[in-house]
Amino acid sequence: MDRVNILGVTFDNVTMEQSVARVIELVESGRTAYVVTPNSEIAYECMKDSAFCNIINGADLTVPDGAGVVLASKILGRTLKQKVAGVELATALLPELSKRKKKLFLFGAKPGVAEKAAEEMKRLAPGLNVCGCMHGYFETDEEVVTAINAAAPDVLFVCLGSPKQELWMSENAEKIVPCTMLGIGGSLDVFAGVVKRAPDIMVRMNLEWLYRLVKQPSRFGRMLRLPKYLFAALRESKKIK
């Protein structure tokens, strides 16, 4: 698969359709695998933290969840095909999982949110087998691992936000039954309707970040990583020339 290094993070240069096909391939393989969806905030964190960067680069599939990463790829002259948002990848996967009778476990978000998200997912993909739900405010990893292993899923959505979810997947990969894990941040909140996605027009204009900032001003600090990330890409592109 075509891979592109953007400021130290190796992204798979894939369309949404290719991402879905790759996840299905991983699921069908029956082995332990994990998928990460870094946006520019996470990719910037990777520049500062090499241990975290290794976890991201150790994933079986790494897709760019953000217009900022795609823009950085253009600045560096290694243009990624498209943004592949985690929540959109999850949505596209649901009918495929239902068709193949795969079991899905939802892990993360506040108590009650995963159950609501499951209802919406089953509406979107009739016949989908959601084999378990667990909120993301647990005391110990062991209680989560026990719940997941009892349900024996084929696919596990890990929605704890970043970097918590990536660390969790890497630390617990060997403890849970072989399955494909996807670290997809606030996606359960979106499925459950707890958090609204930006209107389509804003998504198309690459202004989703602005919508999130207005809705959650507390994100301002972490959002400053977006311009810093783009400046780093500009600096790097000057070095290359």
Residue 104 vs residues 141, 170, 189: alpha-carbon distances, Å:
19, 19, 17
| Comparison of 132 and 186: residue with beta carbon closer to ligand UDP | 186
How near is the Cβ of 127 to ligand UDP at its closest, in Å? 26
Assess 137 for contact with ligand UDP (CB under 6 A).
Answer: yes
Residues 73-112, one symbol each (x = binds ligand UDP by CB under 6 A, - = not), give -----------------------------------xxx--
Q: How far is the CB of 165 from ligand UDP (least distance, A)?
A: 7
Residue 132 engages ligand UDP in binding (rule: CB under 6 A): no
Q: Between 173 and 213, whose beta carbon lies closer to ligand UDP?
A: 213
Residue placing its CB nearer to ligand UDP in the complex, 66 or 76:
66
Q: Minimum distance from CB of 195 to ligand UDP (Å)?
A: 7
User: Quick one: which of 91, 43, 33, 92 has its CA closest to 63?
Assistant: 43
Q: What are phi and psi of 175, to 5 degrees?
A: -90, -20
Q: How far apart are CA 215 and CA 217, in angstroms?
A: 6
Stretch that binds ligand UDP, among 48-56, 115-123, 144-152, 182-190 (CB under 6 A): 182-190
Of 71, 131, 185, 233, the one binding ligand UDP by CB under 6 A = 185
Our finding on whether 183 is near ligand UDP (CB under 6 A) is: no
Q: How far is the CB of 62 from ligand UDP (least distance, A)?
A: 15
Q: Which stretch binds ligand UDP (CB under 6 A): 47-55, 91-99, 119-127, 155-163?
A: 155-163
Establish if 231 lies at the interface with ligand UDP (CB under 6 A). no
- Inter-residue contact 185 to 165 (CB < 8 Å): yes
Report the distance separating Cα 35 and Cα 50, nearest Å. 18
